[in-house]
Amino acid sequence: MENIRQVTFAQPSFFKRIKGMLGVDFYRLFHTPLLYIFLVIAALIPALVSMGGEGEATGMFTNVWQIIAANNPLYVISDMGEYANMNMVFIFGGIMVSIFIGHDYKSGYVKQLFTTHAKKQDYMISKTLLGAFSMACMCVTYLIGGVLSGAFTGLPFAVNAGSLLCAIVGKMIMSLGWASLYTFINIIFRSKFGISIALCFVLGTGIPVVGAAALIGNTPALNIFLYGSSVYACLSANFVSVIVCLACSGVWAVIYNVLGTLTLNKRDVY
């Protein structure tokens, strides 16, 4: 009581807030086994889908790069070879984001965070960027795993390099949209990350879009969905495909971030 200070306020800038939050999230990301486990899983998936029991090709693919992306944007799937590609990274990315955010709630970190000057919007942005980075890294290890698996199985490497690059870049860009969706789902289910994992898995597989394609046909209109644009980034992709991925991923990232922020603001945190 004898030593009361003059109370002064200083508005922490958005940059200062997000820098601190991202710093903490990335520190945790690199100092827990979670990221490394999922990077290894991403590297192993191509081997699992492309190699048979004797280390020979399963016959699902006729070219190494089909392990990365389908030849054409096919939303209606006729065989597993058209489905099993780098898009599977987004399924595992959803599980990783769910575990990460679930741990935020379980440990009480979220409680600690929101009692400071941290804004709910910052939390959404930070987790989205973290998830996007993780999935982009998983795309890279998937690519390495895909090339090695293709080399082992003796599949041909012939490809239009420009289209391949557009497909890979397009899929990596889609990580942002997927990460925002998964963050939003986890904001809703919080510490019940079992439900979040299940929902992320279902949406990550693209089952709703595949189902819609079965009903309405193989139409580019499905590119408005995250899974649609992820499929659109294929081996016949071009610069326009990258722009479509950028637009779709960006728009959904904004939508889910706004919805997530509203949810956090309207609901009790803890």
Partner 1 sequence: MNAIEIRNLTKNFGQKQALSGLNMTVPVGAIYGFIGENGSGKSTTEKILCGLLVPNGGSIRLFGRDYKDADVRAKIGVLIEQPGCFPNYSIWNNMMLQAANLGIQNAKAEIAKVLKLVRMEGAAGNKFKNCSLGMKQRIGIAFALLGNPELLVLDEPINGLDADGMRIMRDVLRDVTRNYGCTVVISSHILGELEKIATHYGIVRGGKMIAEMTAEELNANCRTYIALKTKNTEEAQALLERKFARVEKDASEYIRIYDTVKAEDMVAYLYNELDIAVTEIRTDKVGLEEYYIDLMKEGR
Strand partners, 51: 57
By CB under 8 A, tell whether 108 contacts partner 1: yes
Q: C-beta of 139: minimal distance to partner 1 in Å?
A: 28
Q: Considering the rule CB under 8 A, would residue 112 count as an interface residue with partner 1?
A: yes
Closer of 32 and 218 to partner 1 (Cβ): 32
Binder among 1, 158, 161, 215 for partner 1 (CB under 8 A):
1
Contact between 69 and 235 (Cβ < 8 Å)? yes
Nearer to partner 1, 72 or 192 (CB): 192
* d(C-alpha 126, C-alpha 45), whole Å: 28
- Restricting to residues 115-154, which ones interact with partner 1 according to CB under 8 A? 115-119
Other C-beta atoms closer than 10 Å to the C-beta of 163 total 19
Assess 9 for contact with partner 1 (CB under 8 A).
Answer: yes
Is 27 a binding residue for partner 1 by CB under 8 A? The answer is yes
CB 179 within 8 A of CB 95: no
Number of residues that bind partner 1 (CB under 8 A): 40
- Between 83 and 193, whose beta carbon lies closer to partner 1? 193
Interface with partner 1, residue 19, by CB under 8 A: yes
Cβ contacts of 134 within 8 Å, gap of 6 or more: 29, 35, 38, 93, 96, 97, 175, 179
Going 139 to 145 to 151 to 155, the CA torsion angle's sign is negative
Considering the rule CB under 8 A, would residue 36 count as an interface residue with partner 1?
no
Among 21, 41, 88, 130, binds partner 1 (CB under 8 A): 21
Amino acid at 47: A
Using CA atoms, how far residue 136 sits from 2, 8, 35, 69, 142, in Å, is 56, 43, 12, 15, 10
Residues that bind partner 1 (CB under 8 A): 1-5, 7, 9-12, 16-17, 19-21, 23-24, 27-28, 31, 103, 107-119, 265-270
